[in-house]
Amino acid sequence: MKDAGQKSSHPGELGAPKRLNRSTVSALDEILGTQLPVLDDGFVRVIDYMGDDSSIVQAAKVSHGAGSKKPGEDRAVIRNLMRHLHTTPFEMCEIKLHVRTPMDVWRQWIRHRTANVNEYSTGDSIANSAQTTVASQWRVQASKQGAGAFLPLEEGQLLSARESQFQKTSRDVYAQRIAAGVVKEQARKDLPLSTYTEAYWKIDLHNLLHFLHVRMNDHAQDEIRSYAKLIGQEIVAKWVPLAWEAFLDYGRDALVLSATEARILSALIANSPEGAKTIAESAGLLAFDKSGKATRNFEREEFESKLRFLGVTPSWM
């Protein structure tokens, strides 16, 4: 909210309440209602929003009292709030999105319980199209959860052709039921998870950033990651640039060390490779097989990649 009058409207201050103007963000207004494409037939579009970076600062000042406005102050306040997990001021901003996602993506999306949702009903309306996978995009199972490389193109072409056949069959079965007068809620039951659904999704900024933190992560499924990246980079970055910058710095791109990891790193920096190894072993991160090779440990491997980022070589390697 931007102040329009002369007198303050801060709680507890005397004087007639002054008029307030709604906050608007021109960069976001420019894309309001525009479908931003994701996957082959999905999209995200902003329907409405409330608040901006200054609303976060204004809410924080209710708890601390109004201060003088200095250049760069908003940025410092927002960074301070983010750093110390003073999260409620971020809840003062809200956004309403219209999203179109395949049902398997939506199944993951809807697990985030802190949003208000209204989904398109295939019980009342005809089901949407289905997402298709191009031949070069079939991912190989790399670990229990997550994916890495792609299948060879010839194999992918075979799978894409089978996908197309299967989707056509399921569509035909659906259309036949509809044509026979079957109720839509029953006709839809054999539609695949690739079928697109649509929803209005309204959420406050604090919970949206949590969603983005979880779903922009490399461990999240590639498809939902595409949506999360688009929402973050094309929408949130324009809407609340200072909060977005702080989120990237302290959340998304931050390097987090557990207490054990910090102790090992500290020993490595102090030039105590044996000390580092002992800590790693006693914490269960490091064990060796009969040939003297370190056995696989996912937690240690993740820590090793943090060490590589810092330019540190662990003593056991």
Ligand X SMILES: Cc1cc2nc3c(=O)[nH]c(=O)nc-3n(C[C@H](O)[C@H](O)[C@H](O)COP(=O)(O)OP(=O)(O)OC[C@H]3O[C@@H](n4cnc5c(N)ncnc54)[C@H](O)[C@@H]3O)c2cc1C
Q: Which of 113, 144, 290, 296 binds ligand X (CB under 6 A)?
A: 113
Q: Assess 86 for contact with ligand X (CB under 6 A).
A: no
Handedness of CA 24, 226, 206, 85 (dihedral sign): negative
Tokens of 115: 């949003």
Give the x-and-dash track for 238-277 against ligand X (CB under 6 A): ----------------------------------------
Q: Assess 207 for contact with ligand X (CB under 6 A).
A: yes
Give the x-and-dash track for 114-133 against ligand X (CB under 6 A): x-------------------
Give the C-alpha separation, 261 to 19, whole Å: 53
Nearer to ligand X, 114 or 258 (CB): 114
Region 138-177 residues binding ligand X, contact defined as CB under 6 A: 145
CB of 115 to ligand X, least distance (A): 7
Q: Assess 87 for contact with ligand X (CB under 6 A).
A: no
Q: List, in sequence order, every beta strand (DSSP E) within 39-172.
A: 42-50, 94-102, 116-119, 139-141, 147-150
> Which stretch in 105-113, 172-180, 188-196, 257-265 sits in contact with ligand X by CB under 6 A?
105-113
Spatial CB neighbours of 67, under 8 Å, sequence gap ≥ 6: 61, 73
Q: Assess 214 for contact with ligand X (CB under 6 A).
A: yes
Give the C-alpha separation, 286 to 301, whole Å: 10
Give the C-alpha separation, 127 to 187, whole Å: 10
Q: Assess 107 for contact with ligand X (CB under 6 A).
A: no
Q: Which of 99, 135, 220, 235 binds ligand X (CB under 6 A)?
A: 220
- How does 64-78 read in b/e, with b if 16+ C-beta sit within 10 Å? eeeeeeeeeebbebb
Nearer to ligand X, 76 or 140 (CB): 140
Q: Which of 84, 96, 88 is nearest to 57 (CA)?
A: 88
Residues in contact with ligand X by the rule CB under 6 A: 111-114, 145, 207, 210-211, 214, 219-220
